[in-house]
Structure 1
Amino acid sequence: MDQRSPAIERRILLFGQTNLENSILIGNVHQNTGIECQLIDVRHWRAEWEFEADRVIALIDSGSAAPERIRELVDCLHDLQADVGIAVFNVAKRHPSEQLISWPKLNGLFYTGTTHSQLCRGIESLFLGELWLPRHLMAAFLERTRERPKNATGFAGILTRREKQILRLTATGATNAEVAEELNVSMHTVKTHVYNLFRKIGVTNRIQAVNWAKENMHELHDKEEAEATG
């Protein structure tokens, strides 16, 4: 019997005005990526959203609303515990939307003039857990925020014992359901721990979390070495 895991379902939610330009954009994105894309009009940004897909990219039109309202939308999306990545597009140079790259789930920023082809490539990268941010913004952000670590004993000390357990299981490729079964806890408990540990280590998806664990959790390295020599 085929025991392969089902393919991850992906979906794009475009937050912007209902107009011809965005309708054409949705069609091009779907045609070039094969990913279902839904437009949520600016008038309904405060609605409650149900995410049926496993992975969702929220694509926000920077020119569709005032900067304060866009920030409110990013704030709302950031608090969701679903696997949602955020990107803004149609961003003018020196627009307040550039400052949103400091938010953990804001993984993509596309300037005005970005072609549909470039946007599609960026979206595909976002679904792979990569960042699509202008280099000069990233350089300026690092310059502002980098400092010597206060904890010289290792970053893994910021996690609780349960969070480390979940992160180790995640590194093996286990799903949330499998983690819940292994630890004999509920799915809700696992999702809460995952949300907390993602926030602590500054990542937004499983790929980034596993990479963080490999760099900062010595016990994970010890286990891998033992399995390789066992």
Structure 2
Amino acid sequence: MDKGQSLVLLVTASNPQSQLFIDYLHQQLDCQVSVVAPTTEWKGKDSETTVVLLDADHIDEATMQQWHVKAAEANDMSLAAFNLRDEEHAVEVLSAMNLQGVFYRSDSLEMICKGLSILLEGNLWMSRSLMTRMIQFFRRQQLNSYRPVCGLTHRELEIIAMLGTGASNIEIADQLFVSEHTVKSHLYNIFRKIKVHNRLQAVNWARQNLGAPPPLVGRRQREPSQHPIPNHS
């Protein structure tokens, strides 16, 4: 593959340190290297093989989900995360979104370049122990899919999946064409059934028992006159 037609896109805060990192990658990899701020809208070219490198130190969960959606819609885009604390952190992120590569804070620049080269060739980059843990995780998820999940209804399962994308009560109401009061009632019943006390605990429970929520591609929208959705950008 001609890496000169490929792109490594670093999603992080733009500062002198990130620029030094970009310069180093550009010297070591025979491809284009660019940077974009986490909240900046970016549209890639279909002809490019793109590896998106998400900086876990500067990107929140909602923004990671947005890139998850972009990757699902793109023809040739791979997602990787770097600056992950450890393998536990990697498992947490991988349970919420699809990543092809994982890099830790302790990884050397040489190791990151090696991993990016592997990703640009269309392969995975993560440790065998991490892959084993994720296989076990998805096996548990598959087993759970064949039995009732704590008595949750189909609508409650929809709502708990939306919690994992960072959606607010108003956003969930708009997507399901129900009132915000109805969403709150469903959340009360969900928390009671799975024995948690807040949204974060519910999301963590869902990741362990239901797996990663699917990318919300082509979500239904209400007319904007009823419940305007806050702008999180």
What's the TM-score once normalised by structure 1's chain length?
0.54
Distance 1:48 1:29, change over 3 A: closer
User: Using the alignment, how far apart are the partners of 1:24 and 1:64 within structure 2?
Assistant: 17
After superposition, residues 7-18 of structure 1 pair within 5 angstroms as: 7=2, 9-18=5-14
SS in structure 1 at match of 2:59: coil
SS in structure 2 at match of 1:42: coil
How much has 1:98 moved relative to structure 2?
A: 3.4
1:62 corresponds in structure 2 to 56
Question: Which protein, 1 or 2, shows the higher relative CO under an 8 Å CA cutoff with sep ≥ 6?
Answer: 2
Which of 102, 106, 118 is the aligned partner of 1:113? 106
1:35 corresponds in structure 2 to 31
Identity of aligned residues (%): 20
Q: CA RMSD in A?
A: 2.7
The structure richer in helix per residue is 1
User: Using the alignment, how far apart are the partners of 1:26 and 1:53 within structure 2?
Assistant: 22
Which of 118, 121, 127 is the aligned partner of 1:125? 118
SS in structure 2 at match of 1:51: coil
In the alignment, structure 2 segments of 5+ residues that lack a partner are 143-233
What's the TM-score once normalised by structure 2's chain length?
0.53
After superposition, residues 40-119 of structure 1 pair within 5 angstroms as: 40-44=36-40, 47-51=41-45, 53-66=47-60, 68-93=61-86, 96-102=89-95, 105-119=98-112
In the alignment, structure 1 segments of 5+ residues that lack a partner are 1-5, 150-230
Deviations 1:90-146 (A, max 9, x none): 111266553333578511000002111110000000111221112222111112223
SS in structure 1 at match of 2:39: helix
The 8 Å contact of residues 51 and 78 in structure 2, kept in 1 or not, is answered as yes
SS in structure 2 at match of 1:43: coil
2:38 maps to amino acid: V
User: Using the alignment, how far apart are the partners of 1:56 and 1:29 within structure 2?
Assistant: 14
